[in-house]
Structure 1
Amino acid sequence: MKRTFRTFVGVAMAGTLAFSVAACGNDSAAEGGGEEQLTIGFVPGIASDPFFKAMQVGAEAKAQELGIRLLWQGAPDEYSPQSQLPFVDSMLTQQVDGLVLVPTDPDALQPSVTKAQSANIPVVTVDTTVTDQSYLTSAITGDNREGGRQAAQTLAEQIGESGEVFLMSGSPTATTNQLREEGFTEELKKYPGITLVGKEYANSQPAQATSAVNTILLKHPDLKGIFAVDGTSGSGTVAALRNAGKADEVKLIGYDAYDNQVADLKAGIYSALVAQKPGDQAALALQNLVDTIRNQNVDSIEKNVVMANVVMTNDNLAETEQFQYPTQ
């Protein structure tokens, strides 16, 4: 499947457009020989989120290596199908050669994958995925269920396997969040002295996490620990603990390794972080798409890829700080 792609059309939206084009390598049409330069579209969950910024860094580096054009578009600050779908539709309208997608909802984004299939555009999902993965070239993600288990194990150890804990989640539709919650709650069952007193969703808005944690601290003044399942939930939780003067009393396990999270880990506000490898996920997604389109190394493409996490603590930072998410 070879298409020459020359015009990039923005999405008409009421809000700000998060749009980036990385033109890498040479256009063979201009040189008069060789393979056409491929254009791969990449639609993240939230373009401004540090996790997806790190993913963009990895994608741009891989695009340069592969000599392809990377078209990066995403909603700037809202994690929802409503904000994401116009960007996906734009990619399909422009007939990109391949699409990398971070679905904000497994069902709501399924029709987009069906449209891509009708247009013969291969799709790889990263981080999250869709309900029916049969058409996907690959579904690439971190080990989210295991990450939830790791969070529970670490928290249990830090609070002496006894006390009340709270689960501060992100989006109820994100498959990653769902798996982290499941892993966390399953693992907690191994510790009869620990009571899970509640769960709330921040919907990827730190202020909502702050409000939820403020409320739980009032209801449960002896709370021993919190698991924040993503970076934005963690940021809001940190603010609540600081406001309540309980940053030294409540153990906080975070997910992801944003700059501010690692700084707060060093300051003792987080007691541990479960870090992913967003750049590696993005790079593998591009490699798999290029190999599929060019019909090369196809036997080595894995349909489902789960990448291991890294648990960061102050005790092991010398070895794990390298997993802090890059932003440029």
Structure 2
Amino acid sequence: MSHPSRRLVVQAAAALTTGLLTLTACGSSGAPADSKPSSGSSSSAAAAPKSNLIAIITPSPDNPFFKAEADAAKKKAESLGYQTSVDSHDDDPNKQSELIDSAISRKAAAIILDNAGADASIGPVQKATTAGIPVFLIDREINQTGIAKAQIVSNNSQGAQLAAQEFVKGMKEKGNYVELTGKESDTNAGVRSKGFGDVISQYPDLKRVAQQTANWDQQEAFSKMETILQRNPDIQGVIAGNDTMALGAVAALKAAKKSGVIVVGFDGSPDAIAQIKAGTMLATSLQPAALGATTAVEQADKFVKTGATGQPEKQSIDCEIITKDNADQYGVFAKL
């Protein structure tokens, strides 16, 4: 039988060993017990300290509309004290995903995004949101709510109806016409086309002889219009889902030596306004790019500082019709 004092020493040693093993197990990752979870978890990303960066991602600045919104967002963000990065995804969902990954790795305070596809952009926006970086969409919506903090777009239906009403007047309610539509993956393309149709369909003497997508692109619109004119030389009007395509149509009509054709666009670009003043375009529907972009930055700033925007997710801004009568009142996608 063991001596009582020796038994007490052994029990004390065993207790100390057990305590040390317990402490070692709690800190087995090598991190202190109150350390944050690993960077692979969404909770740590959400809690990670943010930089003072606002990442601005848009389609190509070769289109003056997208350049105007990027410039406006950058100017507003910097006036509020943020650093900015401005990049283009060129309507390539893979490139967009890479740019959003970069913004996440840089721990951006917010992302301002004119996206590269209503469906293709859902995953990247969700990824940024899961990482704790709020995303504010401008110009184009995505086909899901509840992941972006805001979707701020022009009232495309209202703007398209304004453009179509002007088109109908210019056509005197009759004649053959062509419609050039935008990129099929862009929700705006379908909304604008429907808005045109809602008005024009009320006039049975207006006959659409061709409808083709030119993917928002001027050169593609030029080529498509050349082909359409060869098959349908007797046209009196062209209505296009954006000004870039309208300008391509104007160039094709000029090359074909066709004058007096009514051309209406959508965007309110400076180049379109110049053509309206020159008489080669009838009208365009202005969507205020600068206003949408600055509104998104203001709401991003408020969200960063307070955790809320105070606004609903879906927001729309009404468009305005520009004709020769009021063209002098407009500048770079905004009223002067």
Q: Same fold (TM over 0.5)?
A: yes
Amino acid at match of 2:327: L
> Aligned match of 2:333 in 304, 320, 325?
325
- 2:164 paired with 1:152: yes
Deviation readout 1:70-98 (Å, 9 max, x if unpaired): 221113xx433244332222222222111
Cα deviations across residues 9-30 of structure 1 (Å, max 9, x unaligned)? Answer: xxxxxxxxxxxxxxxxxxxxxx
Contact 2:273–2:327 (Cα < 8 Å) also in 1: no
Answer yes or no: is the 8 Å Cα contact 2:275–2:281 preserved in 1: yes
Shift of 1:143: 1.0
Q: Tell me which structure has the larger Cα radius of gyration.
A: 2
The reply on whether 1:60 has 2:74 as its aligned counterpart is yes
SS in 2 for 1:300: coil
TM-score normalised to structure 2 length: 0.81
1:194 aligns with: 206
What's the counterpart of residue 311 of structure 1? Answer: 321
Counterpart of 1:308, as a letter, is: D
- What do the CA deviations read for 1:6-60 (whole angstroms, capped 9, x no partner)? xxxxxxxxxxxxxxxxxxxxxxxxxxxxxxxx31111102233200111122112
Match of 1:3 in 2: 49
Say which of 282, 294, 299 aligns to 2:305.
Answer: 294
AA aligned to 1:317 is A
How do 1:151-300 residues align onto structure 2 when only pairs under 5 Å count? Answer: 151-246=163-258, 248-295=259-306, 298=308, 300=310
Q: Cα gap change, 1:130/1:299 in structure 2, threshold over 3 Å: closer, same or farther?
A: closer
Question: CA separation in 2, counterparts of 1:300 and 1:254?
Answer: 34
CA separation of 1:80/1:236 partners in 2, compared to 1, >3 Å: closer, same or farther?
A: farther
Distance 2:292 2:309 in 1: 19
What is the correspondence of 1:73-152 to structure 2 with a 5 Å cutoff? 73-75=87-89, 78-152=90-164
Classify the secondary structure of the residue corresponding to 2:306: coil
State percent identity of aligned pairs: 26
Paired residues of 1:261 and 1:270 also in contact (CA < 8 A): yes
Of residues 35, 45, 51, the one that matches 2:65 is 51
SS in 1 for 2:229: helix
Say which SS state the counterpart of residue 217 (structure 1) adopts: helix
SS in 2 for 1:253: strand
Report the CA distance between 1:2 and its aligned residue: 7.1
Deviation at 1:256, TM superposition (A): 1.7
Q: Is the 8 A contact 1:113 1:123 kept in 2?
A: yes
Deviation per CA, 1:159-200: give whole Å up to 9, x if none: 110111111122111112221111111221111111122211
Q: Is the 8 A contact 2:55 2:103 kept in 1?
A: yes
Q: TM-score, normalised by structure 1?
A: 0.83
Q: Is the 8 A contact 2:118 2:142 kept in 1?
A: yes
Long gaps (5+) in structure 1: 6-37
Aligned positions, number = 288
**Alignment equivalent of 1:70, drawn from 74, 81, 84:** 84
Q: Which amino acid aligns with 1:130?
A: I
Runs of 4+ in 1 over 4 A off after TM superposition: none
Deviations along 1:107-160, whole A, 9 cap, x unmatched? 111100110121011111100021112122111011111121112111111111
How far 1:317 moved relative to its partner? 2.1
Query: How far did residue 205 of structure 1 move?
Result: 2.8
Letter in 1 for 2:267: D
AA aligned to 2:70 is: Q
TM-aligned CA deviation for residue 285 of structure 1: 0.6
Deviation at 1:301, TM superposition (A): 2.2
Aligned partners of 1:79 and 1:203 also within 8 Å: no
Query: What is the RMSD of the two structures over their aligned residues, measured on CA atoms?
Result: 1.8
> Would you tell me which structure has more helix in proportion to its own residues?
2
What's the counterpart of residue 16 of structure 1? none
Cα distance change, pair 244–286 in 1 and its aligned pair in 2 (3 A): same
Asked if 2 retains the 8 angstrom alpha-carbon contact of 1:204 and 1:233, the reply is yes
- Whichever residue aligns with residue 280 of structure 1, its letter is L
